[in-house]
Every structure is written in C-alpha cells, then in structure tokens.
Structure 1
Amino acid sequence: MKALLLLSATVVTVVCSGPIQAAVPSHCNAEEVTLFSCQIEQSAKVVSLCASQPLSKASALAYRFGKPDSIELEFPKTAVNSIEKFRFAHYFRYQVDRKTLAFNIGHYHYMLFDYYEGEEAPPYGRGILVTDTRHSDKTVSLLCRDEVVAELPLLNDIVPCDAGNALANC
C-alpha cells in the first residue's frame, strides 16, 4: 500500500512539474500565462505570447521576440487595451485545425500560427509569418522547433475575431 501511494505521488509530481513545458524557452514571466512559445528553427531566438492572469478580456497580452535573455521586439508597448490590438482566427474540420493570432506594427503584418494537418507529415506547423504590407510577396516564415507551448484556443472568446482572415468564423 505504501509503494502504491509513493508511486501515485511520484506520478502526480511528474505531471505537475510539466517537464515538456520546462524544456520550452519563453519570454513570459512567472505572473503571466504562456499562450504560445517556441525557439525558432536554426536560431537561438524565441517567440512568445504572454498574458496576464487570470485570462479574460481585461488581460494584458504581449508578443515578445528575441534571444532568451534579450527581448528584441515587444508588442504592444503598453498593456492598456492590448487585447484590442490583436485578431484571432480559428478553423476546424476533420483532420484540420488551424489557429492564428495577427497584429500589425507599422508596415509589417505578423501572424502567429498553429496548424494541424492530420494527413501531412509532419502534421504540425507552428511559428510566425511576417509580411511587409508594402510588398505582399515579401513574407518571412519563422518555424518553431519541435518543443512548443501552443494554447491559442484560450483566446477564442477573448481576442476580437480576425474578420479579414479566411480561417475566421466571425
């Protein structure tokens, strides 16, 4: 009986410690919830989407990009009404689940994406697309490495719908 209790406690400890999330670098601090974070392929840079807790329409939302110890880009600059500066889209059907979060900085359109295509190999595609809106053919795709925190669906009823996105169900 003691061994069973010890085993149960060990399993609970492992589940609660979140070893997979601990392996994913993030720019979010301890007071924030990490909604999206990953290290970019072939780079030391990290992309993170962080929100103040508890998660609600009143939360502060922040996109951060850069090396683990040095944030190079943070959007928006202030937490006031920050959720209103983002747009969310979600599309789902059998074997397909696509979620995006978009925002603009000057002439650049940013779109975090978390795609699942069940009939593709690999089935997941996650990262960020950056498009120079003055030249729509100039898009840079920064793909995530395998370890990813991807909780974008939590934004579904919080962030305004991206009516201009074909994936959106506004």
Structure 2
Amino acid sequence: MKAAFDFTLLARSILAGGAFLFGTGSNAEEITLCRPYEEVYFSCQIDEKILSVCACGNVSPDNGYVQYRFGKSDKVELEYPEKSYPPRSRFSISDIWGGTWPSRI
C-alpha cells in the first residue's frame, strides 16, 4: 500500500529551502538529487537529506518531465511521480506576489 503524498510538507520544504537558497550569494557547489542531464529547478539540504525538483525537456505541460525527489545522494526515498511523465495534472505553477500565498495549497 502506498502512502499518500503530503503536498503540504513539499510546499513548506520548498519555501524554507527557497528562502535559504535565494537569500544567499554563495557560489558553492550545488547539492542535488538531479541527474547531470537534468535541469535543477530547486534543491536544498535538510539535515542529512536532500530535497530536489528536477526536470528534463519541460518546454510545455505536455512535454518532458518534472520530478520531486527526497532522500540521500546514494538512496532516493521518494520520487514523485515514480515515472518520467509530462507534468500536466501532476504539477502546477502558482505565482506569489503582493505578500500573499494562495490558500488552495
């Protein structure tokens, strides 16, 4: 039986990591679970684990793929979606502006 995917945890992790990532001017080597040929949309370290959002060929909602990965560099514990599907109906984009956050998350 598969556990339900906790999108609230994902959103909080991305926000926390994004605040850390974009708030620094560091040029340090990026820690990521993305493969060398993938684009790193987001990646951060949380304690001993890594949270990454990786993409390849994502030029539209029906092309390429986007995947969320969580785990250690030698073992990914969670990958969503499990297969490399186009992102339509699996991921969505939300604009954050004017100091507000959409309440539908």
Partner SS, residue 90 of structure 1: coil
Paired residues of 2:65 and 2:86 also in contact (CA < 8 A): yes
Tell me the distance in 1 between the aligned counterparts of 2:64 and 2:83.
Answer: 12
Gaps of 5+ in 1: 1-18, 99-164
Paired residues of 1:27 and 1:46 also in contact (CA < 8 A): yes
2:80 paired residue number: 75
For 2:81, give the aligned amino acid: P
Q: For this pair of structures, how many residues does the alignment match?
A: 79
Query: Residue 70 of structure 2 is aligned with which of 65, 69, 73?
Result: 65
More strand per residue = 1
1:126-166 deviation line (CA, Å, top 9, x unaligned):
xxxxxxxxxxxxxxxxxxxxxxxxxxxxxxxxxxxxxxx43
Q: Does structure 1 residue 34 correspond to structure 2 residue 40? A: yes
Paired residues of 2:58 and 2:86 also in contact (CA < 8 A): no
1:99-127 deviation line (CA, Å, top 9, x unaligned):
xxxxxxxxxxxxxxxxxxxxxxxxxxxxx
> Aligned-residue CA RMSD in angstroms?
2.4
Query: Residue 84 of structure 1 is aligned with which of 75, 89, 104?
Result: 89
Query: Residue 51 of structure 2 is aligned with which of 47, 59, 76?
Result: 47
Bigger relative contact order, structure 1 or 2, given CA contacts below 8 A and separation 6+?
Answer: 1
Gaps of 5+ in 2: 1-25
For 1:56, give the aligned amino acid: S
Paired residues of 1:37 and 1:46 also in contact (CA < 8 A): yes
Tell me the distance in 1 between the aligned counterparts of 2:100 and 2:31.
Answer: 24
% identical aligned pairs: 30
Tell me the distance in 2 between the aligned counterparts of 1:49 and 1:90.
Answer: 17
1:135 paired residue number: none
Paired residues of 1:90 and 1:167 also in contact (CA < 8 A): no
1:144 paired residue number: none
1:17-41 deviation line (CA, Å, top 9, x unaligned):
xx72x5221011111100010001x
Deviation at 1:53, TM superposition (A): 2.9
Within a 5 Å distance, the mapping from 1:15-30 to structure 2 comes to 20=27, 22-30=28-36
